[in-house]
Every structure is written in structure tokens, then in C-alpha cells.
A and B are shown apart, each in its own frame.
Chain A
Amino acid sequence: MAKFDQNDSGVVVIIGSGAGGGTLGNELAQKGVKVVLLEAGARIENQDFVNDEWDSFTQLAWSDMRTTSGSWQVSKDFPNLPAWIVKAVGGSTTHWAGASLRFDVHEFKTKSTYGSVPGANLLDWPITLAEMEPWYAKAENKMGVTRTNGIPGLPGNNNYRVLEAGAKKLGYKAVHTGNMAINSEPRDGRGSCLQIGFCFQGCKSGAKWSTLYTEIPKGEATGKLEVRPSSQVLQIQHDDNGRVTGVLYADKDGKQQVQKARVVAVAGNSIESPRLLLNSASPKFPDGLANSSGMVGKNYMRHTTGSVYAMFPKPVNMYRGTTMAGIIRDESRLNPARGFVGGYEMETLSLGLPFLAAFLDPGAWGKDFTSALDLYENTAGMWIVGEDMPQEKNGVTLHKTEKDQFGLPIPNVHFDDHPNDIAMRSHAYKSGTAVYDAVGAVRVVETPPYPSTHNLGTNRMSENARDGVVNKHGQTHDIKNLFVSDGSQFTTGGAENPTLTIVTLAIRQADYIADQMAKKEI
């Protein structure tokens, strides 16, 4: 395995090992580019994952102090947990559910398609679906997405069967077990899904794609990728010409180290990535790196989410089997007649008893609440994932007084729902309820959003440098050898779970970086 010198200024330093960083690292290594991958979290292999919600949360979640503000309900229910994401090698690809959907054509062109939406900072992506399609195909092949590349769909579990029966009664057409990056048959050296459940707790069998046991070991096998776990980057450094030169990080013992770099790619998810750019402010860049537009940390999106849980007279056992292998896509189409722009997906989701108790109706108590939990085994559940409106005021800022263990300001995450988000959520709750009522639900609960798993937009991609942070390759407008490689690049969020698009952008970006390096542009 590779081991690069800290003074080797020829390496590409990637910060974060999730869908963006882990993929980029492997793709570059395959092209012979030297990569140092710095991951803030520990390396926990999949056999050490635990089928226990709270223990797993303790093992994997990013639980460093964060604060929240704004009118979103997460700020009230979980004031110090704006996001449920991961601090470990593999990043949130350990926790993700596997849903792998392409953006629709109009979702790359929301400003042109939706027109003016008051209060929304809509912008067209500088790329189109047509440009993305070949890269999406590569990502689907890499991840082994079901219903692509001749890979069969996963079998439907109990929770899916309830969703499907209700959906079909209502006349929904696009109903299936999803496009999942979970093996329905052995592929790429990994076995097929054992219907364990606990997809959110890390897939112990390895059937679900995660950079932890796909991209990262493949990259390491080239001898060009060095992964340094438990290494949190504190600052990106630059020279007088405004080119980045390396990063300052705290190693596993808390000792500060500098790794020189030819290129730096930031992939720490949409809270830490802008935080790092802001915390890297210098006399030359007083507002933070790559922030001439003022857009670093702005336009935070988290998808319009919510859940519907329904209780039936007879057992469902929703927790058995693949958590999210079930989808109704009909409501994701564009149809402003519903009273909002954008669309939403309905996807199966289950929680175990400990997390359902914590998330079903946070803060609730008394018989009304517990009588719903009493019906746990008769419960079916779905998650709503819809496109939310980018708003400049929503975002990540540095806390004015609170510091982390390294003395750096912690992030505050501000979010207000846009009226469009509220209208969409309300519509989605009604649709979800109708699905379950159609098959005889005796009780339906509208569950508010969980801490964000889809964190997007805080280093948005734009055609013009004044509108955003990065160009169509994720390269910052201001600094040629500084890139952003995670979901914070998203100009707008689409209705789809974002991982496939993050991976697609990373594959595409690797080509660009390697090309630019070969041409000595960077």
C-alpha cells in the first residue's frame, strides 16, 4: 500500500472518503495519480458494524458539536444534530440506504423550468442530463445498481408489499423495488443481499455499495492511494499566488501535521466542506477560500422530507429486509397543478423500535404516542424525498463563540422551510396516507423530518463565478487547483436521493483533474 511523504507536493489530497471523496480517490489512483485521502473518522470494517441502532449511531455518526437555527423542525427536535451523517472511512456510504436514481432532465434546469419562485435562489446547473448520461451509466455499473446493466431488482420485503398494494390500488404506475446499489445477485466480489435489515447501520454482508469496501481497497491496490483515517483537516493552505499548497490536519493522536499537495479536493459533506473553506480564511482570502461570490455555505438544501407510518390490524414486520427497496415514482414528475414546483419520491423506510420511539413524533409522550408504538409489529413506513428550494439565507456559518476540540469555530446550520417545501410536504403526507388507507390502515402518523441525511448545495455549481463556488467540473471558480467533490456542489437538489449523482460527478471530475494535471494546467 502506498505511503506518501508529507512534503510530496505532487499528490492530490482528498478530504473525506464518502461517495464523492472515496470515488474520486479510486478513480484518480486507477489513472496513476498519487492520492492522499484524509478521513476524519476511524476505519471500521463492515464485519464490525452492529445491528443495533443506538450502538451503531455511537459507532458511526458524526456527533461533533453543531448548532442549529431557523424555523425547521429539526432545530427544535434535535438542536445539536442537524444531520445524521457519518464520521468513518466510507463516510455516509456506510449509512446510506442504497437508492440510486438519476436526476430528471428538468432538474438540471430549474430556473428555466420553474421560472421565478419568490424567495428561492433557483439556478440552472452548468451541465445537462445529456452530458451526465454517460457518466451516470459508469456510476451505475460501478455501484451495481439494480434495474440497470441487466441487474434484476431486489425482491420486495413486507414493507414493500404494503406500499405496492396501496400504490396499485390508487393507480400509481411507477412502483417497484427501486434502483438500488445493493446486490440482488453476487457481483463485483460481493455477495447478494441477505435481507438483514439495518441498512442504515452499515451493511455487514457488504451487499450494499460503500466506498469502504469497494472504491477504497481497489484504489489502495493500485499502490497510488494512501488512506489516513482519524485525520481531520483543519485548514487548507495557499501561497501568495492564491494556489492551494497543502492542508493542515490533526492526526490520530491529535498532533497537527501538514500534507503538501498539488491539488486539494474537498469532500466532507455539505456542512464540513463549507466550514473548512470558511475556517481557511487568510489575509489574502478574508471571507474564506473560494468565496469571492459569497456563496460558500449558502443555499443549503436538505430535501423536503417527512415520513408516513401506518398501523394495520395484522403484522407487517417492516424492519425485516432491505430498508429502502421500494419506491413510488409517480409524484416525482413535474406538475405545478399540485400547487408546488418540483416533485417527490415515496420510498419504503423502516426503523427499529428504539429509533421509531425517538423519531416517530419527537418529544411526544402519553398514551396517544405509546398506543401507536404498541402497534409496532403491525406498522409499515415510507419516507418522502422531494426537491426543496435553495434559499440564500439557508446555510452553514461559523459559530461566533463555540469552538471544537481544535479551537476552530463549530458550524451552525440554519434552515427555514420555503412555502413550496411546506406545500410539497403537505401534499406528500396526503399521498402517503392515501396509499396506506387504500389497504386498510387503522391509524396513520405523519412523522416530521429526521436530522438531514441529504445535505446539499453549500458550494454550489454555477456557470458564472458570481453565482456560485465551483464550475461544471467542481473546480472552484477562484482557485484552479482547489476542487469540491461532494453534494455541496449541487446547484439544486432534484427529487432523487443524491448519492448516485455525487458518484457520477466524482467519476467525471477525476477525468477532468487527470486531464488538467497532464496538461500542466494544475
Chain B
Amino acid sequence: MREVDRRSKHTRRVFLKGAATTVPAVAVATSTGLAIADAWADDATTLTPATLKTLVKVARDIYPHDMLTDSYYITAVKPWDAKAAKDPAVKAMINDGVARLDQDARDRHKMAYADLPWETDRVALLQRIEQTDFFSKVRGDLIVSLYNQKEVWPKFGYEGSSAEHGGYITRGFADIDWLPKV
């Protein structure tokens, strides 16, 4: 019995709730066909759109899932803007980290990190900064901010909270059908 719907859901409610939701810009951007980077990063207050765009690429390169669109990575990294607004040290850490990555990318490949077409090349650059505070903070944050999005769970086949549905006692707790008979 499968009740997971893997399709993304951007309901009308998401649009109406506007800034109160976590992903309104994303929802608008994806549904209107706007280039995501243009639409969602513009309402950032502290980090530049280019920096946020690079962070999204970094997030995908750290935890690459080809089945996830950018919207989930955007939701995961966008809170860094507010954190940077609150704390100059965070702002410096993010800006310096991204600048270092871009510098390394230009030195090696003559283009900015986010413009590098191959994941392998970008990952090689990330490996060089793996021990930095920037990398470990971004990665450590991402393990929660990406995988704790309830909208991400169905993509992996995870159904989340079950008590309100009465558990799985009648919903397939033992429905596996491919095992050899024992």
C-alpha cells in the first residue's frame, strides 16, 4: 500500500500565505517559469543574490540528489541570509567562504564556482575547503535544513508522522511481498 505522492505540491494556499511561508518565492518562481536565481534571491537583505546562488550550488554539491529540484536547496540555504543579518561574523564567514571558492574556481577553471558545469570539478574544489569553518557549518546546517523538510520526505518514500492516521496497523506495516519464503 503506497500513499506517498512524489509530486511537488505548490497549492494555492502557498501563494496566498505569501511571506509567512518558507518557500513563497520558490513557489512563485517555479510556477511562473521565472529563472529561480533571479526571483528568490532578490529579497535577501544581507547576502548578495550571487552569493546565495553559489550557496545553492554548494548545497547541491554537498548533498546531490538528482530527483530534487533547486527549490529544496533554496529553502535549505536561504536562512543563512537572516543569520548573516543578525551576526556580522556569520556574514563574513559566508561571504569569505564563497569568495574563496570562487577564487579557487577562477584560478583553476577561469570561471566562478556556480558556473562550473561539471559536478566533479566543483566537488574537487569543495574537498580543498572541507576542513574550513565555512564548509563544516554549511554542511552541518544542511543535514537538517535539507532533510528535515517535510516536502522532501515523499521524494524518498518516507511518510513522516503516522499516529494521526492510526499508525500502520492497517496501512501496510507488513506488506513486503518480494522476500523469499522462509
Q: Point out residues on A near B: beta carbons under 8 Å.
A: 50-52, 54, 155-158, 161-162, 164-165, 168-169, 193-198, 204-205, 312, 314-317, 319-321, 352-354, 357-358, 363, 365-367, 369-370, 373-374, 376-378, 439
Contact = CB atoms under 8 A, between A and B. Distances in A.
A196 B143 CA distance: 25
A358 B143 CA distance: 6
DSSP class of A's interface residues: helix, strand, loop or mixed? Answer: loop
Nearest to B165: A196
B158 A158 contact: no
B153 A158 contact: no
A132 to B, nearest CB: 34
Interface string B129-166: 00000000001000110111000110011111111101
Nearest to B63: A370
Contact of A365 (B62, B157, B172, B175): B62
A366 B59 CA distance: 10
B180 interface: yes
B161 A321 contact: no
Contacts of A378: 157
Interface residues of B, number: 39
29 contacts: A51-B161, A51-B162, A156-B174, A165-B179, A168-B182, A193-B169, A194-B169, A195-B167, A197-B162, A197-B167, A205-B167, A316-B176, A317-B159, A317-B172, A321-B168, A353-B147, A354-B144, A354-B147, A357-B146, A358-B143, A365-B62, A370-B63, A370-B65, A373-B65, A373-B156, A374-B65, A374-B156, A377-B156, A378-B157
Interface in B33-89: 61-65, 67
B156 A196 contact: no
A370 B65 CA distance: 7
Nearest to A194: B167
B163 A196 contact: yes
B158 A319 contact: yes
A52 B161 contact: yes
Contacts of B173: 155, 157-158, 195, 320-321
Contact of B160 (A155, A168, A317, A352): A352
Contact of A196 (B63, B152, B167, B182): B167
Contacts of B67: 374
B111 interface: no
B120 to A, nearest CB: 10
Given A366-B62, A376-B156, A196 B162 contact: yes
